[in-house]
Structure 1
Amino acid sequence: MSNRLTIVVVEEDRDRAISIMDALQAGGDFDVHVIGNVSALARRIAALSPDVVLIDAGNPTRDMLEELTLASGPLERPVAMFVGGAAGGLAREAIEAGLSAYVVDGLHPDRLKPVLDAAIARFQMSQQMRRELIETRRALEERKVIDRAKGVLMKARGIDEAAAYALLRKAAMDQGRRVAEVAEAIVTTAGLLT
């Protein structure tokens, strides 16, 4: 995220919106935009391309939570939702939907900065975990392909596993490619020949 954060505040009450803007401006160097009408919310948020979205939802229903979640793009940016009360089990759904913060007891200007900081930190942690999960899945898939290629080489050449892997590594180095790429080519070729 850049040094100067762009924050979209979704707040229908004009006086509360002004109070929130004042609290944000006092808490840091932010470019703050207020959306006072939730119609076409997704389009309006996308047009502003904010770094963070703060939503004052009062007492949200499940439908409202789903709409606001989809509109604010919690997987793209930190989103904090402030609600008036416990809202009957919606906290779990909100977090599962990807919200970075779900704050009960409404949006209080004096709590904005700490909640904003926590939402950004949680979002960054979540993004890191997603990247690591994607990388782990990719590595696992590559490992499976390499194992299949070793099996093909072991059967075709009558060699052991270590020799098959050494052959894969040598081919990869000779061709300036990754071992997984060479393994994929071997598996694909073997599939065509059988």
Structure 2
Amino acid sequence: MSERLSIIVVEPDRERALQIVDSLNDAGDFHIRILSEPASLAGNIRDHAPDVVLIDMANPSRDQLEELALASGPLDRPVAMFVDRSEEGLSAAAIEAGVSAYVVDGMEPRRLKPVLDAAIARFRMFQRMRMELAEAKRALEERKVIDRAKGMIMRARGISEDEAYALLRKTAMDRGRRVADVAEALVTSAGLLG
């Protein structure tokens, strides 16, 4: 995120929106854009690519909550949602939709900065976890391909697993490629031939 955070505030009530802007200005130096119409959220997110989205709602329905959360791009940025009242299960639905902070009992100016900080920290933590999970999945898939390639080499040459891996590694080094890439090429070409 940039040094000076850009924030889109979704608040239909003008007075309340100005109160939020004042609270944010008291808390730091932010570039703030107010949206009074939640229906235009997705387009504004796409056009302005804010660092954070703050949504203030009186009593959202499950559909409104999910629509607003998804429109605000919760996988791309922290989303903090302030609601006056919340039906049972809505906070869980908000978190499942990707909202980084879901605060019941509305937005209080003194709580705005700590909630914003918590939403950003939580978003970054989940972003790291998503990246680590994707890396682990990629590594597992590569391991499976390497194992398949080793098995093919072992059968074709009548050699041990260690020797098959050594051959894969030497071929990769000779060609300036990764072992997983050489294994993938071998598995793919064998699939074309078989």
1:28-67 equivalences in 2 (<5 Å) = 28-67=28-67
* Deviation string, structure 1 residues 135-180 (Cα, Å, up to 9, x no partner): 1111000000000000000000000000000000000000000000
Q: Which residue of 1 aligns with 2:84?
A: 84
**Which residue in 1 is equivalent to 2:69?**
69
Give matches, 1:19-168, under 5 Å: 19-168=19-168
Consecutive unaligned residues in structure 2, runs of 5 or more:
none
Alignment gaps of 5+ in structure 1: none
Describe the shift of the 1:183–1:68 C-alpha distance in structure 2 as closer, same or farther (beyond 3 A). Answer: same
The aligned amino acid for 2:71 is A
Aligned twin of 1:169: 169
TM-score by length of 2: 0.97
| Alpha-carbon offset, residue 3 of structure 1 | 0.7
SS at match of 2:39: coil
**Aligned in 2, Cα 1:165/1:43: closer, same or farther, shift over 3 Å?**
same
Q: Compute the displacement of 1:114 (Å).
A: 0.2
Moved over 4 A (4+): none
Structure 1 residue 69, shift from structure 2 partner? 1.2
Q: What value does the CA root-mean-square deviation take over the aligned residues?
A: 0.9
* Counterparts of 1:172 and 1:78, CA distance in 2: 41
CA distance in structure 1 between the aligned counterparts of 2:57 and 2:48, rounded to whole angstroms: 20
CA displacement at 1:186 relative to structure 2: 1.1
Identity %: 66
- Return the TM-score normalized by structure 1: 0.97
Amino acid at match of 1:183: A
